[in-house]
Structure 1
Amino acid sequence: MAEPSIQRKSRRTQAGSRRRAPDRRDATRERLLTAAIDVFGRYGFDATTTRALAEAAGVNLQAIPYHFGGKEGLYIAAADHLAQIISSHVSGRREQIRARIEQADGGLEVAEARQLLVQMMRTMLGLFVSRQSEPWARFILREQMEPTEAFERIYGRVMKPTLEVIGRLVAIILGEEVGSEHVRLRTVTLLGSLVVFRMANAAVLAQLGWESIGPRELDRIHAVVDELVSALGQPGGRA
């Protein structure tokens, strides 16, 4: 009677091992992706070695070809991973706003458009000033200077849909056609006013005499964001 019991236990143990194995593989893959965003962002694609990536992730060197086929595959996967992370922070608010615009079917009031724009900009600002976005910014900045397929992945999955929603709000506020050159210019200018707090963080802190951006400083920035949106389309506030 004992033998069947042992066999059943063995089968359960084997099944449990099979269930746990993907978790270990996923953890290795996750460590590599996180390390890749940081290391590629610091040193660039050409200067980064697979050994440096493996050491930064704390994994075996063979894990890179096993999971990603090589350094290039890991680089592209890191871009996809980064796009997914950023999207998880902003897509909820973005799609909520998109749904409201579509629900209004062209009848969204300017005052509400301003409120929604402030909400979207504050959501993005919270991400830009967070410490976790530092390695993301380095990776993206390199792709801005010398775009590769990785830029297309990040732009297509995060930047483009976000700019589209902001642009629709800007068009409503300005009373102009969605997609017009002027609306697109105003949209990227608004985004630039937020990006500066990450891409030029050191200059911002030096100029303002801040040691860091904490709750107090973030409140000050929120107030300026509100001013920017309030001035949009107003006499004297329009480019």
Structure 2
Amino acid sequence: MLRSDVTREKLLTASLDVFGRYGFDGASTRKLADSAGVNLQAIPYYFGSKEGLYVATAEYLTSIIGEHVGELRQKIGARLVELDSRGEPLAETEARNFLTEIVQTMVVLFVSRQSESWARFLIREQMEPTEAFARVYEGVMRPMIEIGRRLIGAIIREDPGSEHVKLRTLSFVGSLLVFRMAHAAVLAQMEWEVIGQEQVEIVRSLAAELVAVLGPLEGHAA
């Protein structure tokens, strides 16, 4: 890796943590540079301004998450395109298998230490969305949620574009995000000191269980 690339990477890694902890206004350029261990002039040199660094940090976060789920997203997306081209529906069993694979991948990511800085950054953007949120949403959140809608729609036998399926999907995603957004509460309630390999396997089993119990609501009109 070139020295310039190393400097840029240091700034992006540090900025994800600093912006997440202090917000855009609270993160001074001095604090950002010191945290990255680089010269203050590196920010305007590589990103133009603090604003440019902030947006680049969102794109960096998108790429990191994409590295974890990109291959899976591509595989499922290709299968959906194949079925659509033949005018065939996605079978419930295949939809459940795909969804289980997604949620088990995501929940392991959510309980990992590396996702702490991601969560802080995204929580701030959820509260007061900026261009940074738009980058993350369009780059990774929207595509994953829309795949989730297709899979959940097939499982509960409803139109993936319906308001009900959208809400079911968002609610389902929320049941997984609790392991990151309410991490301290999870540890306290479960009386776990840390989430190690044993706890990860327990959480992965729960994720699969959440998929297994998904189904049409009795008396609900599709």
Computed over aligned residues only, the root mean square deviation of the Cα atoms, in angstroms, reads 1.6
Secondary structure of 1:112's aligned partner: helix
- Residues 62-86 of structure 1 show CA distances to partners (whole Å, capped at 9, x for unaligned) of 1111111111111111011111111
Matches within 5 A, 1:171-190: 171-190=153-172
| Count of residues in Structure 1 that have an aligned counterpart in Structure 2 | 217
Counterpart contact for 2:159–2:165, Cα < 8 Å: yes
Counterpart contact for 2:107–2:207, Cα < 8 Å: no
Match of 2:135 in 1: 153
Q: Please, what TM-score do these two structures have when normalized by structure 2?
A: 0.93
Q: Please, what TM-score do these two structures have when normalized by structure 1?
A: 0.87
| Aligned counterpart for 1:72 among listed residues 48, 51, 58 | 51
With over 3 angstroms needed to count, the CA separation of the structure-2 counterparts of 1:167 and 1:235, relative to structure 1, is: closer
- Residues 12-33 of structure 1 show CA distances to partners (whole Å, capped at 9, x for unaligned) of xxxxxxxxxx811111111001
| Aligned counterpart for 1:193 among listed residues 141, 155, 175 | 175
Secondary structure of 2:159's aligned partner: coil
Match of 1:118 in 2: 100
Matched residue type, 2:57: A
Q: 1:127, CA displacement in angstroms?
A: 1.1
Gaps in structure 2 of 5+ consecutive residues: none
Match of 2:189 in 1: 207
Q: Give the Cα–Cα distance (whole angstroms) in 2 for the partners of residues 213 and 98 of structure 1.
A: 31
Q: Give the Cα–Cα distance (whole angstroms) in 1 for the partners of residues 48 and 17 of structure 2.
A: 19
Q: Give the Cα–Cα distance (whole angstroms) in 2 for the partners of residues 52 and 132 of structure 1.
A: 21
Matches within 5 A, 1:48-63: 48-63=27-42
Q: Give the Cα–Cα distance (whole angstroms) in 2 for the partners of residues 235 and 154 of structure 1.
A: 32
Q: Give the Cα–Cα distance (whole angstroms) in 2 for the partners of residues 234 and 224 of structure 1.
A: 20
1:104 correspondence with 2:86: no
| Amino-acid identity (%) | 56
Secondary structure of 2:192's aligned partner: coil
With over 3 angstroms needed to count, the CA separation of the structure-2 counterparts of 1:234 and 1:218, relative to structure 1, is: farther
Which one has more relative contact order, counting CA pairs under 8 Å at least 6 apart? Answer: 2
Match of 1:140 in 2: 122
Match of 1:27 in 2: 6
Q: Give the Cα–Cα distance (whole angstroms) in 1 for the partners of residues 116 and 101 of structure 2.
A: 22
| Aligned counterpart for 2:152 among listed residues 147, 150, 170 | 170
Q: Give the Cα–Cα distance (whole angstroms) in 1 for the partners of residues 208 and 13 of structure 2.
A: 34
Q: Give the Cα–Cα distance (whole angstroms) in 2 for the partners of residues 59 and 220 of structure 1.
A: 41
The runs of at least 4 consecutive aligned structure 1 residues that moved more than 2 Å come to: 101-108
1:93 correspondence with 2:72: yes
Matched residue type, 1:62: Q
